[in-house]
Amino acid sequence: MSAQHTYRILISGGGTGGHIYPAIAIANAWKEKHPGSEVLFVGALGKMEMQKVPEAGYEIKGLPVAGLQRSLTLDNLSFPFKLLKSLRIASQIVKDFRPDAVVGVGGYASGPVLYAAQSKGIPTLVQEQNSYAGLTNKLLSKKATTICVAYPGMEKFFPAGKIRITGNPVRKDILDLSGKKEKALEHFGLAADRKTILVLGGSLGARTLNQAVLADMEKLEKSGYQVLWQSGKFYFKDMLSKLEESGLKHIHLREFIREMDLAYAAADVIVSRAGALSVSELSLVGKPVIFIPSPNVAEDHQTKNAMAYVNHQAALLLRDSGAVGQLKIKVDEVMQDAELAAALGNNMKKLAKPDAALAIVSELEKLVK
């Protein structure tokens, strides 16, 4: 396959970082192997992909599609009209762009785009990040050519013959953290003589994780720890106010951390939600992790994601319902047992798939031959 051939690849989906960043990683890996190619994204208007994809250097077109609300709302009345309009726009995008293959990463926009492509006989690849498949991907899988997954046992959702276990693509800068710790400590203003707890609740934030840190931050600091704490934009001002009132010096609050490679390099223990992208990144980092899965997701899939690691003695689990008041106890469990900490990190690394993006590109190449 010539690296200079001008292939046209259409990538659709988004809504959350867990969909968007793998999509961008796939695009980057494809462009590295086939620099003459055209890559076009399709997302949902008003969602974060409309900002993040252009920032990554790719063109994106938006669809008015939105999801159904679980409760009866006025927005649900407009759902069929938005869907029909999105199907028309998606069909036109596919007709005009004439892609050699279409990738769907989940999220609202991937439905209309893959449906349009499949209707025109264009090969499609579905990428499912979670251990519990999303509704859109389950529906699209029936006519998809290939389905790339991150977890074994996905035959209960998808046709077995189409499944390829590739892992989830992640950003390249976290693949090698060696030699970055000193720079990381300086960058975040952290003390070299204190163990670091990294707390990650996602870009928007996680109420339980923030409340858990608030409840235990005085005890954590008194025990000689320091906390690098991403609160998320929804909670930042409130958390900052409470932190300033406390007078604590070793709780380092950030609304959002962009330099994730440095944050991972600084960490001795990581406390995180268990979204698909998070667990895939953390497996590459190979540090001890305490997962606090969000209970507010479809089919409790974050707990399923976390348990795929906990069952291999690669992470610890702290239930959302018990996290507030229990965080320090769980942190101590790891920090005070060097053998456990080392085992968790090593077992995490064993489950990592650092070449996931290239594996998906390899599957995509089979479709465009």
Q: Which residues sit in the known binding site for UDP-N-acetyl-alpha-D-glucosamine?
A: 16-18, 130, 171, 203, 257, 276-281, 302
The 10 Å Cβ neighbour count of residue 249 is 9
User: Residue 33 burial (CB < 10 Å; 0-12/13-18/19+)?
Assistant: middle
d(CA 293, CA 303): 5
CA distances from 272 to 29, 47, 239, 302, 319 (A): 27, 23, 17, 11, 12
How far is CA 52 from its chain centroid? 13
Binding-site residue numbers are 16-18, 130, 171, 203, 257, 276-281, 302
Return phi, psi of residue 179, to 5°.
80, 5
Rg (CA), the chain: 21
Q: Which residue in the block uniquely carries the two structure tokens 């993006």?
A: 357
364/203 Cα distance (integer angstroms):
30
- What residues contact residue 287 under an 8 Å CB cut-off, 6+ apart? 264, 267, 268, 269, 270, 345, 348
